[in-house]
Structure 1
Amino acid sequence: MKLYYSPGACSLSPHIVLKESGLTFEAIAAPTKTHTLADGTDYYTINPLGYVPFLVLDDGRTLHEGPAIVQYLADLVPNKQLAPANGTWERYKLQEWLNTIGTELHKGFSPLFAPGMPAEAKEIAKTRLISRLNWVDGELTGKDYLMGSTFTVADAYLFVVAGWGKHVGIDISGLNNLSAFIARVAARPAVQDALRAEGLLT
């Protein structure tokens, strides 16, 4: 299978999950600024939406939403416990986290990366994001990971999105639980492998 990604973008989440899974895959850079692959291919000819992540299976089937991709990957390797079993209460809690990260945090960062966004709008977005990150910090009290003591695909997603704060002036150093969580996830060998593969760690 192939994963199309852009370094440091939300596609880093399934990249991490693939590294954690041990599955065989090919990672292909599809920079979100140029939409041109290394061989000159126009990325829009592969994914008409133009964004990442984009997963292409060996039989040609595709997935283009991060939360769907990471759950699919987790279900391929149930022994890795990257997601609770389908139909369990814990699986719905995992989906709750994936949706919260996607709608309240991931999309919350969008105005801060948008060229030409008015400063006032950015400040409103920052205030809302800080409020949500404070809430996440509280939810991590007494836990190593979002679901407790086991690393799941939701942790990969939170790690990536919360890490964007340093690029847009959001300081989370005062959020002790979240800061410890980020350091904990960053220390995982598979996470370091994914960061290295994307040129984000030397």
Structure 2
Amino acid sequence: MKLYYAPGACSLTSHIVLRELGHDFELERVDILTKTTETGADFRAINPKGYVPALRLADGEVLTEGAAIVQHLADASKARDLAPEPGTLARTRLQEHLNFVSAELHKAYSPLFNPAASDEAKATARANVGSRLDYLERFFADGRDYLLGKSFSVADAYLFVVANWSARTGVDLGKWPKLAAFVERVRARPTVQAALAAERLVAA
């Protein structure tokens, strides 16, 4: 398998899950501005959408969209700790969390990475991010370690990656201590440390 990624982008979620599952895989970095890979390939020929992640499977099929990729990986490995059995309420809860992170939290951060966005637009974006972090802070108020309770799942990998953008975008997670504790809990996982080091986001 080969994962096409950009350092610290949402593709880090798939990277973490690949390591959680113990898969052998290659990494190929993508310049998201020029749409070329580190080997000089046109990334749009791999993923016409032009954004990461993209995962080339052993049979040559290419999967896109992080939430779909991580569920496929967990299902193919029958890793029910990472993704509950399809058709169960627990699996629907997992999809609920993945959809929230993707459609609400991820998209709320997006304007903060746009260098052309005005200060007013960024202030609005930070307020939108804050309202979603307020929800997550309340969600973790019952003392759970992870989104599904005590067990780490693919949704936790995605939430970690997106919430971790806070430091780069001027969002102080200290205002949401339960969520901040979750982020540090996930960061401490050996697979997460390995993925961060491989993407040169921390020292190896």
**Structure 1 length as normaliser, TM-score?**
0.96
Q: Which is worse superposed, 173-182 or 152-161?
A: 173-182
**Equivalent residue letter for 2:33:** K
**Residues 79-117 of structure 1 deviation map (CA, whole Å, 9 limit, x = unaligned):** 461111101100000000000000110011111111211
Q: Distance in 1 between matches of 2:30 and 2:108?
A: 23
Partner of 1:194: 195
Q: Which amino acid aligns with 2:135?
A: W
Is residue 39 from structure 1 mapped to residue 14 from structure 2 by the alignment? Answer: no
- Post-superposition shift, 1:75? 0.7
| 2-structure distance, mates of 1:50, 1:127 | 28
Describe the superposition over 1:19-73 as per-residue Cα deviations: whole angstroms up to 9, x where unpaired.
0011221111112123222222222222222110001112121211000000001
Structure-to-structure mapping, 1:94-133, within 5 angstroms: 94-133=94-133
SS in 2 for 1:63: strand
Structure 2, unpaired ranges of 5+: none
Q: Which residue of 1 aligns with 2:7?
A: 7
- Higher deviation after alignment, 84-93 or 132-141: 132-141
1:67-82 aligned at under 5 Å gives the runs: 67-79=67-79, 81-82=81-82
Conserved 8 A contact 2:31-2:38:
no
Return 112-121 or 124-133, whichever deviates more. 112-121
Tell whether the 8 Å contact from 2:7 to 2:200 is kept in structure 1 after alignment: yes
Q: State the SS of the aligned residue for 2:174.
A: coil
Q: TM-score, normalised by structure 2?
A: 0.95
The code of the aligned residue for 1:77 comes to S
Q: Conserved in 1, the CA contact under 8 Å of 2:53 and 2:65?
A: yes
Counterparts of residues 178-189 of structure 1 (less than 5 Å): 178-189=179-190
Aligned to 1:171: 172
Which region of structure 1 is more displaced relative to structure 2, 111-120 or 88-97?
111-120
Distance in 1 (CA, whole Å) between partners of 2:42 and 2:79 is: 38
Secondary structure of residue in 1 paired with 2:182: helix
Structure 1 distance, partners of 2:79, 2:29, is 29
Distance between the aligned counterparts of 1:176 and 1:121, measured in 2? Answer: 26
Aligned residues: 202
In 1, are the aligned partners of 2:3 and 2:55 still within 8 Å (CA)?
Answer: yes
Q: Which amino acid aligns with 2:117?
A: M
Identity %: 52
Task: Note if contact 2:46-2:62 (Cα within 8 Å) is conserved in structure 1.
Answer: no
Moved more, 44-53 or 125-134: 44-53
Alignment partner of 1:58 is 2:61: no
Letter in 1 for 2:198: A
- Secondary structure in structure 2 of the residue aligned to 1:55: strand
Superposed CA RMSD: 1.1
Confirm or deny: 8 A CA contact 1:21 1:80 kept in the other structure: no
